[in-house]
Structure 1
Amino acid sequence: MLNNIKKIAIVKLSAMGDIIHAMVALQYIKKSYPNIQIDWFVESAFAQVLENNPHINKIVKLNLKSIKKDKKQIFSQIKLLKEYSKNSYDLVIDAQGLVKSAIVAKFLGKNRAGFDKDSTREKLASFFYTKKVNIAYDKNAIQRNAKVLSSSLEFEITKEEILKKQPFLFFKNENKVIYDYLDNKKKNILFVIGASWPSKMYSKEKFAKIINTLNENCLIVWGSETEKNDALFIKNTSTAKVLPKLDLNSLKALISKVDLVIGNDTGPTHMAWALNIPSITLFGNTPGYRNTYLTDINKIIESKSSVNPFKLDRNDFSIKDINENEIVELAKEIFNGKKNKGLF
C-alpha cells in the first residue's frame, strides 16, 4: 500500500468495451484507498459510460480523434492537458497502453504507471512510464486492466473478487421511453446487433430466427443508420421491437432492467456483465476467452475460427456461421438456471 497517494488520474480513452473492462477496478481501488480522488481521462464520445459513478471524482473529456480531421486541434488538446497537469496527481495510470495514451499520461504528471514493453502491442508506450506492470498481452482483458490499475497502487484484485463484483454502471434521468418497451409477462431480451466492424456482426437473418423461436419480448438497440436498417429488417421478419436511438445513459438503464442480452463482441453487450445481467456474447474474429469474464449467467459462443489476439483478421466473417439453435438453447439454459435458483 502507498501511504502518500491521495489523487490519481486514470487514462483509458476508448473504446466502450475497453473502458468497461477497466472500470471494474474502481470499487476495489476505493476499498483499498477509501479517501483517494480519482479523475478519469476519456474520449468525449464514451464519457457517458463513466457518468454517475460514485467512485470517480471528475471525468475529463478529450477529443484526440478530432486531430485526425484537423491538425490544429492538437493545440487545444495540449492546452487542456497542461491545465490538468496543475492538479498535481500523485500517480497517473495509463490503462490503455498506446503511444497516444502514454503521451497523455506524460502531460499529466511525473509519476506514471502502465504496461511494460512485453505487455502491450505498442511497445514504445512503456518508455513513458516510471512504473511498469507485466501481464501478457493475450491474457484476459479484464484481468489485464485490474492488474495494471491495482499493481500500480501496490495491491491485488483477485479473480474471485471480480466474480463477486458489485454492478458498476450507473444512470440518472434516463429516457423514460425505455420502460414502455418492457413486458412484465414475458422475459425481456435485448439484442445488440451492431459492432465496430462488419465482420464482428452476426447474421440479421439468424437474429430474426432466434427471436421467432424464443417467443419472448425481444428488443433491438442500434447506434448507426446501418444498424437501424438491419434492426428494421429483423423487425419486419420477426416479432422484435426496435427501440428509438438511445444515449449511453439510457442504454445503461435499459440493460439493467432486461432479463438477457444477446449480442456481438461490442460495448453495449459488455454492459450486461458490468451490471450483473445475463448475457450471451457472440465471437468470430475476436477472442472470447480474452474479451469476456465467464460467470454462471454470462456466457459466450465462438465460431470455429482460430483467433490470433496479436493480429485480428477483419476479413474473417466466421461469426455468421454460428448456428442460431445453439444460441437459443444457451438462452434457455440461462433462464432455466435462474428459474431453479428462484430468480424468476
Structure 2
Amino acid sequence: MNVLIVKLSTLGDVVHAMPAAQDILHAFPGALVDWVVEPDFAPLVRRCAGLHRVIECDLKRWRETVFTADTRNAWRAFSSDLQYECYDAVLDLQGISKSSLVAKMARLGADGLRYTLANQTEGVAFEAPTRWIADVAVPVESHLHAVDQSRVMCARSLVYALPENVSFGLLAHADKARRATKTIVNQFFDVGHVEANPIVAFLHGSTRADKSWPEAHWLELGHRLNDLGYTVAFAHGNDDEQWRSESIANRLNQAVVWPRMALGALTDALGECVGVIGVDNGTSQIATALDLPLVKIYNFDTVWRTGPQNRDHQLSVFADPTPSVNAVWNAWMQASALAALRDSAH
C-alpha cells in the first residue's frame, strides 16, 4: 500500500500528526508512507521512523514570487516529485485550501481515494470546501485532542483499529547531540563540572504573548534547579527570545543559552536533556514526542487539546492568569521522579 500524508504546517500540528503515520505503518507492515510538508518542518519529519519519502512544498514562498523563473522551476520539480508515486490513499490531515490543492495534485492508483476531514474540530482551522474536493470526507468528533484528530481520521479512512499505545516515532541523533551539547556548554563552564550536571531545557518562547510565563518565574525556577545540581539550557527562535534567554541565564549560577538551531539540531539537543519545562508551543511538542520528562505551562484551559496524553512523566499545569512557580516546581519534581522510576524498571 502506498499512502500520502498531507500535513504542511505548523510545527505543533506536524508533530501531532506523527502518531497517525506510526499507526498506519503498524496496521499495514510494508506500507510506503510519504509526507508532504513545508521546508521549515521537513528536517523534523525526516526523523519520523519508517517514512518512505518526505516531499517539501513551499507554497508560502511560491505565492510571494509566483512570476519568477526560480519559482516556476521549483513548482515543476515539486509537481514531478509529488506525482512520482501512485497512491492508494491520500490523507489530507489539515483540511484547508492549500492542503487540498496538494492532495488534488497527487497521483492516485486505479482504486485510490483522497480523504479529508468532514467537519471542524474545536480550536483547529478548517475550510469547509475542502470536503467537497476530496473523494471521502471523514467525520470526527468535535472535541478531540490534536493527536487523536489525525489518528482517528486515518484509522477511519483506511479501516484499522487504533493501537493502544501512542508512538511518535521521532528519533534524536544522540551521539551528534552529545558532541554539540558539550561544545556549547564548554564555552561557558569548566568541562569537568558541566559534564557532571544534567541539563533541563527551558522552552519559554511563543508567537503569542498571552502564552508566556513571567520572567521572574523562570528565574526562580532556574535557581531551584541550580540548587539541585541541574544546568539550565535556554532555546530560542528569534531575537526577542534570545534576549530574554540571556537576561535570565546571566542571573543563574549554571545556565547556557543555546545558539539558534534548525529543528533537526534542536531535536538532537533536547534528546540529550534530562527533561524540559516549557509553555504551550511547538518546541514543547517535540519534547513530548521524544518522551522526555516534561512540564507544560498553560495560561488557558486548552490542556485537553495539546497537553501530554497518558504519560505519568509528562504533566501539564494550568492556572488563570498563570501557574505559580510552586505549581510548576511540584509538577517537575513529580515528572522527574516518575521518569526515574520508569527508567530503573527497564
Fold match (TM-score > 0.5): yes
Which of residues 311, 314, 318 is equivalent to 1:298? 314
- Runs (5+) with no aligned partner, structure 2: 187-193
> Is the contact made by 1:24 and 1:168 (CA closer than 8 Å) also made in structure 2?
no
> Is the contact made by 2:180 and 2:269 (CA closer than 8 Å) also made in structure 1?
no
| Worse-superposed segment, 227-236 or 252-261 | 252-261
2:190 corresponding residue in structure 1: none
The 3 A distance-change label for structure 1 pair 292 and 156 is farther
> Is the contact made by 2:22 and 2:169 (CA closer than 8 Å) also made in structure 1?
no
Q: Secondary structure at the match of 1:72?
A: coil
> Is the contact made by 1:142 and 1:292 (CA closer than 8 Å) also made in structure 2?
no
Give the whole-Å Cα distance in 2 for the aligned partners of 1:192 and 1:338. 19
2:199 corresponding residue in structure 1: 188
Aligned letter for 1:161?
A: N
Q: Secondary structure at the match of 1:34?
A: coil
- 1:76-131 Cα distance to aligned partner (Å, 9 max, x none): 56534532224222211111111211111011135211110355632222112112
- 1:184-223 Cα distance to aligned partner (Å, 9 max, x none): 5443211111122222222222111110122221111111
Identity %: 21
Deviation at 1:137, TM superposition (A): 3.8
Which of residues 267, 271, 277 is equivalent to 1:252? 267
- Runs (5+) with no aligned partner, structure 1: 1-5, 305-317
The 3 A distance-change label for structure 1 pair 333 and 102 is same
Establish whether residue 117 from structure 1 lines up as the match of residue 114 from structure 2: no
Aligned letter for 1:208?
A: L
1:161 corresponding residue in structure 2: 165
1:21 corresponding residue in structure 2: 16
Establish whether residue 325 from structure 1 lines up as the match of residue 326 from structure 2: yes
Aligned letter for 1:242?
A: V
- 1:34-80 Cα distance to aligned partner (Å, 9 max, x none): 22111110000111111243411111111111145334377556534
What TM-score does the superposition give when structure 1 sets the normalisation length? 0.85
> Is the contact made by 2:9 and 2:38 (CA closer than 8 Å) also made in structure 1?
yes
Aligned letter for 2:213?
A: Y
Q: Aligned runs of 1:260-279 on 2, under 5 Å?
A: 260-279=275-294
The 3 A distance-change label for structure 1 pair 65 and 212 is same
- 1:144-200 Cα distance to aligned partner (Å, 9 max, x none): 111122222211224x321xx375234488463213439554432111111222222
Aligned letter for 1:93?
A: L
Which of residues 189, 197, 221 is equivalent to 1:210? 221
> Is the contact made by 2:6 and 2:37 (CA closer than 8 Å) also made in structure 1?
yes
Alignment length (residue pairs): 321
1:10 corresponding residue in structure 2: 5
Which of residues 154, 167, 177 is equivalent to 2:180? 177
1:197 corresponding residue in structure 2: 208
Aligned letter for 1:17?
A: G
